[in-house]
Amino acid sequence: MSGFEPTLQAARARLAAVNPLAYARTRNALGGAVTRLSPYLTHGLLSLREVYEAVHARQPLDPGHKFVFELGWRAYYRHVWSHLGNGIHQSLHKGVLPDAAYRKEIPADVLHASTGIPAIDLAVGELYATGYLHNHARMWLASYLVHLRKVNWHTAAQWLLGHLLDGDLASNHLSWQWVAGTGSSKPYLFNADNVAKYAPAHWHSPGSVIDTSYAELERLAKNPEALDGSLTKAGEQPPQLLPAPADSIWTAADGRAVSGRDVWLHHPWSLGPNRLADNSNGVSIAAGFAECHAEHPWSERRWRFVTSGLQAQTQHLWWGNMTQMANALRNARSVSWDADPHIDPIFAQLQRLLGNPQALPAPPRPCLFAPVDQYCKSFSQWWRQTSIESPEVCSAWPPASLIHY
């Protein structure tokens, strides 16, 4: 699993190793003390509150601490998603160039990690090999693709989302918009000096196209002509992105397994503990909905991560469309699941198909930051209005009326 095991034990072990002081001091460096908690947050093994409380108990955190600040970014992106819904797939405002100026495919030399620019090729190679990238490497890759190769930010964001074990729609897509300048006041640009400051020597890229001034990079970003690229070597073989798991342990939904029983539906964003472990009439099912992944295919590595995590918590792994799932669950005594915005629209439709008042999501896990009712167009605006909140106050946030899909 390239250092990431999809278990609660592994998530807690990584959480116990977090050093907030070292994080604040070194987080920008590729070899810095980053937490690597994001796959566990994305897939429901940890929550922001669990992370904050565990770290705060060992090392009291001031609300302005860099570690808290970074947790805030994840919460802020969810705030934006809760208000805009599918609007996060569109540019929030005009970027450096009109959207039509950008191409809708990833250049072959980038896909094969063969651009000849070490910082880019190493980032792509690490992405394929591990399903993870340091945030600085993600920013370099995004900036290069959008501003120098003129790739549409959304096209590139979808590609990265499929490969990252921590791929979260809000954090991923809105971060790409921040780099592109469609979700920030200016585009993010970087050069070889920046790479040399934060990356090991083999990442350094002297003599490459990024070995130039910021003034020149700004000129290139404003030029609608894309920089040429060509395969400099055989390079990496790009892994496929698959709309369904290839593993044969996923089977068709079978109503005989759940008839008259209490059902807990795990899904790819809830790899956490079996909620029905003490219920003799309960059965835990891993539910993979074809509709949910048709537009967001994943790499085999990410599918393996999710499948392994679900297999450890459930008796059955079902794959199918919403109608098939509803037919299989129709005679269950009750059906419950963990809410998550990646899959809430699917479950809302499933609930309507079942027509069963017993089909209800579980109460949301307590949040960390106080809710901000008004949509904030910037992190700073949101940050000024929120605060670390008690679990009791925000345990029922957000209300359904604020979730738009």
Element (H, E) at 97: none
**Which DSSP state fits 225?**
S
Q: Where are the domains of the chain?
A: 1-89+365-405, 93-239, 242-361
User: What pLDDT does 361 receive?
Assistant: 73
| pTM, entire model | 0.94
Going residue by residue through the chain, which has 405 residues, state the pLDDT in tens, using 9 for 90 and above: 458 999 999 999 999 999 999 999 999 999 999 999 999 999 999 999 999 999 999 999 999 999 999 999 999 999 999 999 999 999 999 999 999 999 999 999 999 999 999 999 999 999 999 999 999 999 999 999 999 999 999 999 999 999 999 999 999 999 999 999 999 999 999 999 999 999 999 999 999 999 999 999 999 999 999 999 877 777 778 999 999 999 889 999 999 999 999 999 999 999 998 888 888 899 999 999 999 999 999 999 999 999 999 999 999 999 999 999 999 999 999 999 999 999 999 999 999 999 876 777 777 778 899 999 999 999 999 999 999 987 665 554 343 333 322
Interatomic CA distance for residues 1 and 277, integer angstroms: 26
Pick the CATH number of 93-239 from 3.40.640.10, 1.10.3720.10, 3.20.20.450, 1.10.579.10: 1.10.579.10
User: What pLDDT does 218 receive?
Assistant: 98
Please count the other Cβ atoms lying within 10 Å of the Cβ belonging to residue 249: 13
Interatomic CA distance for residues 140 and 116, integer angstroms: 15
User: What pLDDT does 276 receive?
Assistant: 84
238: CB partners within 8 A, 6+ apart: 111, 112, 128
Interatomic CA distance for residues 253 and 265, integer angstroms: 12
Q: Which residues of 276-285 are buried (b: 16+ CB within 10 A; e: fewer)?
A: beeeeebbbb
- In CATH, what class is 1-89+365-405? mainly alpha
User: What pLDDT does 277 receive?
Assistant: 80
Decide: 322 and 284 in contact? Cβ < 8 Å.
Answer: no
Fold of 242-361: Rossmann fold (3.40.50)
Question: What pLDDT, in 10s, does the model give residues 157-181?
Answer: 999 999 999 999 999 999 999 999 9
Place of tokens 């738009």: 404
Decide: 294 and 263 in contact? Cβ < 8 Å.
Answer: no
Interatomic CA distance for residues 43 and 244, integer angstroms: 17
From 294, 260, 266, select the one nearest 361 (Cα to Cα). Answer: 266
User: What pLDDT does 274 receive?
Assistant: 82
